[in-house]
Chains A and B, each alone.
Chain A
Amino acid sequence: MTAAIEAHDIHKKFPNGPYALRGLSLSVRRGEIYGLLGPNGAGKSTLIRVIAGLHSPDSGQVQVLDHTMPDKNVLARVGYMTQASALYTDLTVWQNVAFFAGLMGCRDKSAIEAAIEFVGLLDRKNSLIGTLSGGMRQRVSLASVLPHQPDLILLDEPTVGVDPQLRFQFWDHFRQMAARGITLLVSSHVMDEAERCDRLGFMRMGQLIAEGTAAELRDRAGTNDLERAFLHFAEEKGVDNHEH
């Protein structure tokens, strides 16, 4: 079986943007949780946007589920969860989840209900988003990418601003989803989340500087701490640690 995401030599430059992608290649296998790790400004969001078809790369090629991006049709099999909880605050939990599900071609009420139940918000399904806490909104955001049963979910810093307990729950959710055969690409700048990924990619200044399981990366760097491992690979690449 081919990879879920195959990105080859992606270059992307914004006219006034602080970051860009500089010849990045990446392969995410089907059914795995791939963690994209790196500091703010490393280009993680840009890469995810390119994969989601929101940006066209300047050069290079991206294939998602065997379709060359950007391709609107393949997006019905993908879920995209952004950093900000991008929801309609004047609508209810149910209305929000049903709206995004509908655009993905899913009108099955039981699937919508199951998604809301999955994130534990069934008792709040008729609450307006505006009345929910930040953590709850983040859970609604996750629920809204589930009903159409995507093969691939892209999660751009899904646990930013989420308390430790909820973060733990989120990773449980991700593991359950992966067990169902869903591929997950998760970006984060928190290293301790990395342990729960099948494979990791360290990103820095628009490039992938190292790739492997958490254990492999630690071994190769000769340390038992992922944060130190990251610094090791960053120095190896010969770029200094201070971004700007």
Chain B
Amino acid sequence: MNTNRRSFILARRVIQQRLADRRTLALMVVVPVVLLSFMGLLIRNEPGKLVVGIVNEDQGISIAGATFNLGDRMLAVLDGFEEFDSQSMTAAEARRKLDAGDADAVITVGDGFTQQVIETNRLALVVEFEGSNPMISDRLTKLLERVALQAANVAAVAGSPMPTANTPNTANTTGVETTIESRYVHGGADYDTLDYMAPAMIGFFVFFFVFLLTCISFLRERVAGTLERLQATPIRPREIIVGYMLGFLLFGLLQGAVMLLFTVFVLDIHYAGNLINIFLVEMLLVALSVNLGIFLSTFAQNEFQVLQFMPLIVVSQGLLGGMIWQVEDMPGWLQPVSRVMPLTYANEALRDVMIKGESLLDVWGLVLILIGYAVLFVLLAARTAGRAKI
């Protein structure tokens, strides 16, 4: 018998083994297609409209007997951008919307705006960014530079002695110098994508490792027969679960602390949060990860099958959980899928706590949802831990 033949015999055995596990086979084909389509949708997805408010306090000036108010014309300029959902509002409204995160940026046009532009040949756009997502702020800044140019153009046309046709022009041929004066509710001009992603990544890795380790530990407990022995001792299912949670909490928090220190001090991300709040959110995350791991271990007969949970449970939450792409910007039918995932809420809570420096009371809604998930998974895990042999 030659080597090739022996290799063929081995290959046949490998194929027979794989064919015996139909679930793995199906997942090998289905999972990549599903994940690829998610990625395609997310990457090619048109980002949602940017909410830009304008507070117009401009008095205008009179030119050749007519009143010219540049502030009034700004709204028309903004409306010309299909990327914007532009809204006129009062200063108080603007404040409220920015603080609530309902507006991405607000342009404030002061009372002497027109006069200043005409007299000084300088147009300074005063913009306050919501700022918690640096990617949005970047996109806005680029668009607002074009807005300033078009406004300068309008002003130049109005201010020139011989009015010509009002054609928007992106090239600065007007002689009016434009600047953007930026202010930020959260973060700042030097915030980048990493600042946005780091809080979610800390949550993601804690979830990933704690879930995987619990799932495999509990699977082994069941397969090796130690679970049966535990059940023949006075320990109760809920005590088993609490024990698992306490054990993994140590490692989850340690991992979270290391990641936090590394991102803050080595990667130099901006951080406005309170360590205690971050740890409290992480504790919830560890609790729900442990219990989800215990529960799902029921559906695996070996470690291979635990690995199948990776794309299904872990990668999908990495893509759709709002770590990289904002849930609000996803296609409408995909958003409910994101809204089912516990990591979506954990990411949002961690981000609010770390970037915006909010307290747990500020994010109580998210914390409540996370507690809800933890309780649900505890109940499911308790059933798993109490059940005799599978």
Whether A54 pairs with B234 at a CB distance below 8 angstroms is no
When distances are taken between beta carbons in the complex, the residues of chain A under 8 Å from B224 are 84, 86-89
Sample (13) of A-B pairs whose CB atoms are under 8 Å apart: A53-B231, A53-B232, A54-B231, A75-B232, A75-B234, A80-B229, A84-B224, A86-B226, A86-B229, A87-B226, A88-B224, A103-B235, A104-B233
Most chain A CB neighbours (cut-off 10 Å) among B226, B236, B389: B226
How distant is A5 from chain B, measured CB to nearest CB, in Å?
14
Chain B contacts with A in 337-390, Cβ cutoff 8 A = 388-389
Cβ of A13 within 8 Å of any chain B Cβ, yes or no, is: no
Given contacts A75-B232, A78-B232, 17 further A-B contacts (CB under 8 A): A52-B232, A54-B231, A54-B388, A72-B236, A76-B233, A76-B234, A82-B225, A82-B229, A84-B224, A86-B224, A89-B224, A100-B233, A103-B233, A103-B234, A104-B233, A104-B234, A105-B234
When distances are taken between beta carbons in the complex, the residues of chain A under 8 Å from B226 are 86-88
Cβ of B228 within 8 Å of any chain A Cβ, yes or no, is: yes
What is B's interface to A at a CB cutoff of 8 Å? 224-226, 228-236, 388-389
Cβ of A55 within 8 Å of any chain B Cβ, yes or no, is: yes
Cβ of A133 within 8 Å of any chain B Cβ, yes or no, is: no
When distances are taken between beta carbons in the complex, the residues of chain B under 8 Å from A105 are 234
**A interface residues, how many (CB within 8 angstroms):** 23
Whether A75 pairs with B233 at a CB distance below 8 angstroms is yes
How distant is B158 from chain A, measured CB to nearest CB, in Å?
79
When distances are taken between beta carbons in the complex, the residues of chain A under 8 Å from B229 are 80, 82, 86, 100
What is A's interface to B at a CB cutoff of 8 Å? 49, 52-55, 72-73, 75-76, 78, 80, 82-84, 86-89, 100, 103-105, 154
Q: What is the bound-complex CA distance between A75 and B230, given in angstroms?
A: 11
How distant is A157 from chain B, measured CB to nearest CB, in Å?
12
Whether A86 pairs with B234 at a CB distance below 8 angstroms is no
When distances are taken between beta carbons in the complex, the residues of chain A under 8 Å from B235 are 103
Q: What is the bound-complex CA distance between A89 and B226, given in angstroms?
A: 11
Most chain A CB neighbours (cut-off 10 Å) among B228, B230, B389: B228
When distances are taken between beta carbons in the complex, the residues of chain A under 8 Å from B231 are 53-54
When distances are taken between beta carbons in the complex, the residues of chain B under 8 Å from A76 are 233-234
